Amino acid sequence: DGGITQSPKYLFRKEGQNVTLSCEQNLNHDAMYWYRQDPGQGLRLIYYSQIVNDFQKGDIAEGYSVSREKKESFPLTVTSAQKNPTAFYLCASSIRDRGGNEQFFGPGTRLTVL
Amino acid sequence: AQSVTQLDSQVPVFEEAPVELRCNYSSSVSVYLFWYVQYPNQGLQLLLKYLSGSTLVKGINGFEAEFNKSQTSFHLRKPSVHISDTAEYFCAVRLSGGSYIPTFGRGTSLIVHP
């Protein structure tokens, strides 16, 4: 079955440590996205990538980094520079065109920084 | 730039009652509109979308939405809700022919009581 996987589902880290969240898709989508979700704030875009080896900052990129070395994979690193990293992180993908194509979401990773 | 307002952060309702979740958007050009559902600790999944044509759109799980261009609204409705409909609902908008990056509302929490 085609879809998006994120791992791990739950992640605990100590303050000051970098941590990398995994996102893999087998939908053959060019575009991939990372969102952060906090209670009552909806989804905020961190980074997105339109094609391999290319990515752009979203609305809240500070303290995060990404790479897109393969079409299927778009890992997100939460660095120690992110002031409040505890949140639910969602990865998504979509066809990259100007039509009415929806996004497909992974199950999310809940990051807790102790 | 487009924006989305979900007027109610929380909507409590009794089982088998009808429900309407409100969504208004602002855009000076044509848009695509989406409703997503998120069950606790999961990713988002598409309920329905409006691209063009008939203003009444039917989706999964008995939900439907009506596009009203003059009122710039895309309200989601269900005639009879079930306990299992308890979830977070997000409205999203994309510019037709523009950026494929959607803008999400802050979400409405639907709470169905027995």
Q: What digits encode the pLDDT tens for the residues B15-32?
A: 999 999 999 999 878 889
Predicted local confidence at residue A1, as pLDDT = 66
Q: Is B49 helix (H, G, I), strand (E, B) or coil?
A: strand
Helix (H) or strand (E) holding A110: strand A109-113
Residue A41 has pLDDT above 70, yes or no: yes
Residue B1 has pLDDT above 80, yes or no: no
From CA A109, how far away is CA A86, in angstroms rounded? 11
Residue A45 has pLDDT above 90, yes or no: yes
Contacts of A7 in chain B (CB under 8 A): none
Provide residues of A within 8 Å CB-CB of chain B. 4, 6, 31, 33, 40-43, 45, 48, 88, 90, 92, 94, 96-103, 105-108, 110
What end-to-end distance do the CA atoms of chain B give, in Å?
41
Q: Which of B36, B45, B46, B100 to mutate to test the interface with A (most CBs of A within 10 A)?
A: B100
Predicted local confidence at residue B28, as pLDDT = 77
- Torsions phi, psi of B61, nearest 5? 60, 25
Residue A100 has pLDDT above 90, yes or no: no
Q: Which residues of B86-99 are buried (b: 16+ CB within 10 A; e: fewer)?
A: bbbbbbbbbbeeee
Cβ atoms of A32 and A15 within 8 Å: the answer is no
Cβ atoms of B92 and B103 within 8 Å: the answer is yes
Contacts of A45 in chain B (CB under 8 A): 101
- The pLDDT tens digits for A59-71 are 999 999 999 999 9
Nearest to A105 among B43, B98, B105 (CB): B43
Q: Tokens 């005639």 sit at which residue?
A: B79
Residue B100 has pLDDT above 80, yes or no: no
Predicted local confidence at residue B81, as pLDDT = 98
